[in-house]
Structures are given as structure tokens and as C-alpha cells.
Amino acid sequence: MDFPAAPLRSWAVERQVATHMAGSAGTPGTPRVLRAMNDRAALDLLLEHGPLSRTRIGKLTGLSKPTASQLLARLEAAGLVLMTGTSEGRPGPSAQLYVVNPAAAHVAALDVTPERILAAVADITGRTVGEHRLSTPGRRPSQPVVRQVTDALEGAVKAAGLAVSDVHRVVIGTPGAFDPNTGRLRYASHLPGWHTPTLLDELAAGLPMPVEYENDVNLVALAEQRLGAARGHTDFVLLWNEGGLGAALVLGGRLHRGWTGGAGEVGFLPVPGAPLVRQVTKANSGGYQELAGSQAIPRLARELGVTDVPSGPYTEVAATLVALGADSTTGPHRRLLETYATRLATGLAALVSVLDPELVVLSGASLTAGGEPLRTLLQAELEELAASRPRLAVGDVREHPVLRGALESALATTRDEVFDTSR
């Protein structure tokens, strides 16, 4: 996805490799810039394929052996690559192998919900090296948000064996979106303590590294585009159903956020089959959320005669019921899955009729629990309700996808900075 560069507290998620060269020192085409471009190409290859030998890097980049040797010596002196043993099991002498130095930089990410903050730290290769969970129950926060954020971050940093000063950048994922015109969080009235008009300034003052903020579903889309079902796609919608029902819209390779950051807040969409919800921001809900959100599934199950509705948080109950329907071919559990697919298709049909995406990725526990059976039912329903017929795919990034997307966002920006050897 081609997300434009942005300043501190940006809503940017990703930059293409070529973009970072636009701010590099020197004139395009000069030896300094060309060396920096070759350096970045080699580092990206090492991230994707490493460990690699000098000869292999030369072949993949098209560089001569002397130039590849100079490149690796330059990157090693800059602390960006390390030697890591030699190749074995091939004819001829063994070759020295190189990898990206994991300690070249570290990034952090936070996934915020009303119940908890998950924090993680990753090295520059993308490997998670520390995690921490901070419980934040109750409608009134027991601590100021800045204290919660710093506590969660410090817990992950400590688990990684690092200091907070070692973190190059942090990306925070929340429900709703920070309005770029006012800096205030919108579309997430259920997140206590996050709506003060000075919050972003307070967080910037309380954290020693650059901080970026992004909608949680947008971050899931980034994770799927980088690592999962949307790889190689520039036009797709990600439909998310877990604590809330939302969507991320990637059009022409760019994330569409809207004027106030609220693009994709489809839970507020009026839909047939649900009462018309007014004052939706006060209710923090809308027709599509009431019709097909996770909280509607246990209620729907009881209406259809499913008697074994488990107890627990509604998100877990919903995922369990959807999974039971996916494992059934007949009976009330199957009828539940079929009815749920119809409800999902009702709102999704409006979305794809307007956007005409190439692909729709289904993510969040209440969708991924249905697997291929739910995807098949939803595809069939959508083809009857909408003229546009995108392909549907179940998301691949299942473990903490918001957190993973936030790490990918932080890594993209940090690599642009750390890997730019022309500076």
C-alpha cells in the first residue's frame, strides 16, 4: 500500500521503498544516491531471503562481486548487517553468509481496547522480542491514559531486555480514529479516557520516541497486505467483526481514511432487517452492528433454537457459535451460520456496490471462526445481493492482528530511516 510520508503523530501506515529516497541527501543518479539505493535493495533482500552470501546478493541485485563486497563492507561498518557463519552442503568452498543486524533498531506497538492494552517490541527484522498485557477494566480508567500507555510499553520493553530509549518508534492502534482536523478520537465512545482534546500532545510529551496512531482495523488490513491474504492486492476491503464491526478500505494501493478518519466505520451503516438507529455516535452502534455484529450472534442463536449457547464474553461466545455452525451440515447450528451469512452479506453488498473492490478479506474472531463454510455461504449470498462480485478470502493473520499490523507500520517507517545510508 502506498501511504504518503507524514510527520510525528501521523496517521501514515506504510511507505513504498522508493519513496524514502525522495528525501535522501544528494541528487538522484549521483554515486552517493545510487549506492544508497543498492544498499537498501540488499537489505530488503536479506530481510526476505537471508542469510545470503556475497555472491547470492550480487546475483539478486545485478551487482558485480567487487561492488557487492564493497556494499557489504559498508553495511557492516554501519552496523546494519552481521556475518553469521558459512554456507555448507554445496559444491566448492563455503561462503560467508550475512544477515540484517537485528539490533540495528527496535520498534514498539500497542493494541488498545476497553479491557486491556497489548504491547509488543520487535527488532528491525520484525521478530517480536518482548510482549506485555496491561488490564484496563471498568468504564472509568483507574490511571490516566498516558500512564497506562507508558506502563504497557515499559512492560514490553522490560520483557525484551531493553530500555525505553532503545525503541525507535511506537505505533498505537485504537478503535475509531483520531480526527486529523481536531486531534480528538472519534467513533469510539466506548474507550474510556481517550477523548480528551490534549491527549495526543500529552502522549507525545510523555514518550521519548516518535508516536503514530492508527485505527485498529486499518492495521489489520496492513498486516494482511504485508503478511496474509491480501498480499499483492492494491484494491481490497477488509471486513472485521470482533468487538465491533468495521472495515478497512484500500483503493488503488492507498488506504482511504476519509475527511475525519471515519471511512470504514460500517457498523453505523443503516441496513434492511435492523431498526433505524438514530444518534449513532451516542449509542456507539448502528444498524449493521445490531444486525451482524458479534453481540447479535448469541441473541440470534437463541431465536433459532440453539440451546447450547455458552457463557462468557460475547466475542468468545459469538466465535464459538460460528465455529459450531461451520462444523455442522444440518440442524440449528447450520441455520445459524446461514442466517449470519445473510446478515453479513446485507451490509457488505452496500459496501462492495459502492467500492467495487477486487478482494474482500474476512477477519476478526466472529468471521475467521466460520472458516471456509462461512466464506462459501457469504460469497453465494453476496453474488445474489450485489452486482459487484469480489473474491472473498478468510484472513491469514490470526494471532493479535492489530498488534502485528502496528508493528509492521512502525517497521516500515523505521526501516526507511535506519536503512537510508545516504543520510
**Can you spell out the DSSP letters for 298-318?**
HHHHHHTT---PPPS-HHHHH
295 and 314 in contact (C-beta within 8 Å)? yes
Q: What is the pLDDT of residue 137?
A: 80
Judged on CB neighbours under 10 Å (0-12, 13-18, 19+), 226 is: buried
Element (H, E) at 133: strand 128-135
C-alpha cell at 13: 501506515
Q: Determine contact, residues 108/170, Cβ cutoff 8 Å.
A: yes
Confidence at residue 31, expressed as pLDDT on a 0 to 100 scale: 84
Return the SS3 of 95: coil
Estimate to the nearest angstrom the gap between the alpha carbon of 58 and the chain centroid: 33
**Which residue, among 189, 196, 363, has the nearest Cα to 285 in the 3D structure?**
189
Taking alpha carbons only, the member of 254, 209, 27 closest to residue 110 is 209
Which residues have C-beta within 8 Å of that of residue 77, sequence separation ≥ 6? none
Q: Which residue type, as a one-letter code, is found at position 204?
A: A
Phi, psi of 61 (to 5 degrees): -95, -15
Residue pair 115/135 in contact (Cβ under 8 Å)? The answer is: yes
Residue 399 in 3-state DSSP?
Answer: coil
End-to-end CA distance of the chain: 25
- pTM given for the model: 0.89
Does residue 161 sit in helix, strand or coil? coil
Cα–Cα distances (Å) from 304 to 242, 330, 331, 340, 408, in that order, read 21, 13, 10, 11, 41
Instruction: Answer yes or no: are the C-beta atoms of 22 and 12 closer than 8 Å.
Output: no
Task: Label residue 293 exposed, middle or buried (CB < 10 Å: 0-12, 13-18, 19+).
Answer: buried
Q: What is the pLDDT of residue 89?
A: 55
pLDDT in tens, the chain (423 residues): 343 333 223 323 333 333 333 444 455 567 888 999 999 999 999 999 979 999 999 999 999 999 999 999 999 999 999 998 777 655 556 789 999 999 999 999 999 999 999 999 999 999 999 999 999 987 666 689 999 999 999 999 999 999 999 999 999 999 999 998 899 999 888 898 899 999 999 999 999 999 999 999 999 999 999 999 999 999 999 999 998 999 999 999 899 999 988 999 999 999 999 989 898 887 788 999 999 999 999 999 999 999 999 989 999 999 999 999 999 999 999 999 999 999 999 999 999 999 999 999 999 999 999 999 999 999 999 999 999 999 999 999 999 999 999 999 999 999 999 999 987
Q: Which residues contact 303 (CB under 8 A, 6 or more apart)?
A: none
